[in-house]
Amino acid sequence: MNELEATLRPKETEQPPYPPKRVVLASGESMIVRQATRQEVPKLLEVLEPLIWVERDYYDIVGARMFSELLGWKRFRVKDEYCLVGVMNGMLVGLVNGRSLSRNIGISLHTMAFHRGLRVGAHLFAAKMEYHIEYLNQREIYVVAESPIGFRRWMIEYALEERRHVAHELGGVMSYALTRDLYFASKDRLVVGERPVSEEMLASTLDFEIPDPDLLVTQVSGRAK
Amino acid sequence: MRDVAIIAAGQTKFARTEWPLIDLLVEGARTALADVEIDESIIQAVVVANMGAGILNHQSGVASAVVDGLGLFPAHAELVENGPASGASAVKMAFLGIAAGYYDVVLVIGGEKMRAVNGWESTDFVATLTHPFAEYIYGVTLPSMAGLFARLYMEKYGITPEHLAMVAIKNHNNAMFNPEAHVQQRITMEGILHRPEAVVNNPIVADPLRMFDCCPVSDGAAGLVLCAAERAGQFTDKPVLIAGVGQATDTHVVHEREDPTDLKAVTLASEQAFKMARVGPDQVDVAELHDAFTILEIAESEHAGFFPKGEGHKALERGETQIGGKLPINPSGGLKARGHPVGATGIAQLVEITKQLRGDAGQRQVKKAKTGFTLNFGGFGNNVLAFVLKKT
Amino acid sequence: MQPAPPAYKCSNCGRTTTYARLRCLNCRGETFEAAALPDTATLLTLTEIHQLPVGFDERFLRVGIVEFAGGARAMGWVTFEGAETGTQVEVRWEPIRDSDGEPVYGFAFYPEA
Ligand SMILES: [Zn+2]
């Protein structure tokens, strides 16, 4: 790496990994939640790309921001970012990402679910909180949302605290925070799943398929095909 | 009174759509009109069922707008708003017009565009049907009215959360074979109740009711063409006869009912429909009940006379209400999985029974269905309509 | 001092409701007199509402229906945990919501002292 590149590239902090878990969904099917690798980013971008034109529920902003965050991570332009993916029957059903602001503070970035009606988003958001609090051992996580639906869901379900003096890095809006206390107070009803995940199951998630982009856009936008 | 037949039936796919309300209603009407070869200029009236245009879509004059959208001038047009029973009420009004001899052919179309607003706003919209001072001010929702009812009903008759889940699982399975259903997702007892993950998979909405005990919030429309039975043969080989119509009301405030577990209006409306049709509940081959909440399918199956009080959940347990059972209930998926765009529901129930009696229900067809029944439950049981349909 | 909870007794048949009506549900009588409700009542049924309508930011709210001796019933907020059908509660009439800055009164149920 040349000197200029080293200057432009944020220095990564060594982070403990997110241990994969298995979540049995309402359908009885298993979703494996595991950490994505940098090499998988192009596939994730492929899923997100068509969504950046869907205005409904702020899919456009969430999609575009997530696209740029993951691209930034892949090309070494974001510090200490990670991404968790949910894979069911070899198919990508959702992803969440976040990063560490410091040793004690986590930043929740985005949550996207591609399968409706099975609470994939709720499970993945919970997995993200779990990672920050239980594995990165952080004091609190700053959370905001672009969509009113997302905002109301996380605020009410987790009873987040206001951080009036913290402008969230997503658009500069006031942050809310999930503290360790809040997390452990609601963990029983929000964070589920089994560990360890068998080698075989984990292997089934390695070369995951991605949802058909046309179908996905139809599904999230409610547009007739 | 003249006999009245259904000569065409159709519905849009229930879903979350981008259609504006009037387009949705027009599309629902088109699906019904496409079901029969008819010179549309003979349609004398359009009866439209819708509950929430004023609140959800900031629109009034809906029936006139639908006639305009269809280009059916100078057909008569009226809107029927009767809460979640608007659909069945609209069909009843069309039925009366034809039975009386005033009309020969009437188009009935019901629809709702509920996803125009957020979930908590649509929850509030539906809650406006409760009593403003005795109920609404406490933040009640329709699921919570069902929760209050479910707790009592379950305690009284020994119904368990598993029984409620069985209703949901059955109706979700049925909807897998209904391409127009909103929710096409199989669910399992493990996943929604027995696994530790169930707390997230199936959270409490209004205890004892959980997410999978409640219908989704849907957009959609459904339509029927009704015709004097004596002329029905001109249009179709398979007219379906509206053999019985019943309706009954009950107190607005649910706790004013002497026994809050007694759905009197369901019993009375059903009895009236059966009496008019001159059949008994034991002669019904297929039924569409108003399972906005799983507990209601069980309670209604008893109050309508299909099973004795306290036996509905046992019949369910024995599989009698599955397709292939003694009395298949909600082969379409019901409100639970087909979806519940409130103004469309009562009509969608009749669309399903029409298809079943004609033998057009595809993979969810109930074999040898000759007599069908629908129950559309308005308010929290304060305005209920029942229909008995017969194959001709 | 808090105002007493409302109760309207039909002058003709005696049926009592906890909200004003123009006509009696039992006899269609149209004259009512103010009645006093007992301080306690029995919880007939209750539910914990987790998906609340617009205007509520709580995670959940408990709502129940009580029956007073004499038969009148009322809906109200159950303010405590652990209540079940049949639980005896103390009944209060108090501000439960706010409408344009004005308090809205309603029934609230507390554990019996
Ligand atoms: Zn009276």
Domain map (residue ranges) of chain C: 37-111
Question: How far apart are the CA of A48 and the centre of ligand 1, in A?
Answer: 65
Q: In terms of Cα–Cα distance, which of C62, B204, B199, B193 is closest to A187? A: B199
Question: How far apart are the CA of C31 and the centre of ligand 1, in A?
Answer: 8
* pLDDT(A64) > 70: yes
Residue C51 forms contact with A (CB below 8 Å): no
Q: What protein residues have CB closer than 5 angstroms to ion ligand 1? A: C 10, 12-13, 15, 24, 26-27, 29
Neighbours of chain C (3+ CB pairs under 8 A): A, B
Q: pLDDT for C7-54, tens place per residue? A: 999 999 999 999 999 999 999 999 999 999 999 999 999 999 999 999
Which of helix, strand or coil describes residue A81? strand
What pLDDT is attached to residue A223? 65
Q: What secondary structure does DSSP assign to A53-71, as a single string? A: G--GGGHHHHHHHHHHHHH
Contacts of A1 (CB under 8 A, 6+ apart): A9
Question: How far apart are the CA of B269 and the centre of ligand 1, in A?
Answer: 26
A41-58 mean pLDDT: 94
- State how far residue C113 is from chain B, nearest Cα, in angstroms: 24
Check: CB of residue A127 under 8 Å from CB of residue A148.
Answer: no
Question: How far apart are the CA of C32 and the centre of ligand 1, in A?
Answer: 8
| Contact residues, C window 9-68, toward B, CB-based 8 Å cutoff | 17-20, 25, 44-56, 60-61, 63-65
Q: Sort out which chain C residues have CB atoms less than 8 A from A159's CB and list them.
A: 59
Q: Sort out which chain B residues have CB atoms less than 8 A from A28's CB and list them.
A: 186-188, 190-191
Q: Is the pTM of this model over 0.80?
A: yes
Q: In terms of Cα–Cα distance, which of B16, B377, B306, B153 is closest to A220? A: B16
Is A224 close to B19, i.e. CB distance below 8 A? yes
What is the Cα–Cα distance from B372 to B328, expressed in whole angstroms? 10
Is C25 close to B205, i.e. CB distance below 8 A? no
- State how far residue B93 is from chain C, nearest Cα, in angstroms: 28
Nearest CA in chain B to A126: B200
* pLDDT(A225) > 50: no
What pLDDT is attached to residue A57? 87
What pLDDT is attached to residue A221? 77
Q: Sort out which chain B residues have CB atoms less than 8 A from A193's CB and list them.
A: 197
CATH topology of domain C37-111: OB fold (Dihydrolipoamide Acetyltransferase, E2P) (2.40.50)
Contacts of A68 (CB under 8 A, 6+ apart): none
Is A26 close to B196, i.e. CB distance below 8 A? no
Go through the domains of chain B in sequence order and give each one's CATH number.
4-118+220-232 (3.40.47.10)
Nearest to C49 among B135, B206, B260 (CB): B206
Is B17 close to A221, i.e. CB distance below 8 A? no
A196-212 mean pLDDT: 96
Residue C98 forms contact with B (CB below 8 Å): no
C58-68 mean pLDDT: 96
Alpha-carbon torsion (A45, A51, A55, A57), positive or negative: negative
What pLDDT is attached to residue A224? 54
**Can the peptide bond before residue B341 be classed as cis, meaning omega within 30 degrees of 0?**
no
- State how far residue C38 is from chain B, nearest Cα, in angstroms: 18
Which of helix, strand or coil describes residue A49? helix
Is C57 close to A156, i.e. CB distance below 8 A? yes
Burial class (CB in 10 A: 0-12, 13-18, 19+), B16: buried
The strand pair at B105-113 and B219-228 is best described as: antiparallel
Q: Sort out which chain A residues have CB atoms less than 8 A from C59's CB and list them.
A: 156-157, 159
What pLDDT is attached to residue B184? 95
State the ipTM, two decimals.
0.97
Question: How far apart are the CA of B259 and the centre of ligand 1, in A?
Answer: 18
What is the Cα–Cα distance from A120 to B262, expressed in whole angstroms? 39
Question: How far apart are the CA of C9 and the centre of ligand 1, in A?
Answer: 8
Q: In terms of Cα–Cα distance, which of B123, B160, B166 is closest to B320? A: B166
Q: Quick one: chain A helix, strand, coil %, rounded to 5?
A: 40, 25, 35
Nearest CA in chain C to A154: C59
Question: How far apart are the CA of B131 and the centre of ligand 1, in A?
Answer: 20
The mean predicted confidence, pLDDT, of chain A is 94
Burial class (CB in 10 A: 0-12, 13-18, 19+), B161: buried
* pLDDT(A222) > 80: no
Neighbours of chain A (3+ CB pairs under 8 A): B, C
- Which of A22, A23, A24 to probe the B interface (max B CBs under 10 A)? A24
- Tallying the residues shown for chain B, one arrives at 392
pLDDT tens digit at each of 392 positions of chain B: 999 999 999 999 999 998 999 999 999 999 999 999 999 999 999 999 999 999 999 999 999 999 999 999 999 999 999 999 999 999 999 999 999 999 999 999 999 999 999 999 999 999 999 999 999 999 999 999 999 999 999 999 999 999 999 999 999 999 999 999 999 999 999 999 999 999 999 999 999 999 999 999 999 999 999 999 999 999 999 999 999 999 999 999 999 999 999 999 999 999 999 999 999 999 999 999 999 999 999 999 999 999 999 999 999 999 999 999 999 999 999 999 999 999 999 999 999 999 999 999 999 999 999 999 999 999 999 999 999 999 99
Q: Sort out which chain A residues have CB atoms less than 8 A from C58's CB and list them.
A: 156
Which has the minimum average pLDDT: A94-98, A168-172, B88-92, C84-88? A168-172
What pLDDT is attached to residue B343? 98
Is B195 close to A152, i.e. CB distance below 8 A? no
Q: How many residue pairs bridge chain B and chain C with CB atoms within 8 Å of each other?
A: 106
Is B253 close to C19, i.e. CB distance below 8 A? yes
* pLDDT(A187) > 70: yes
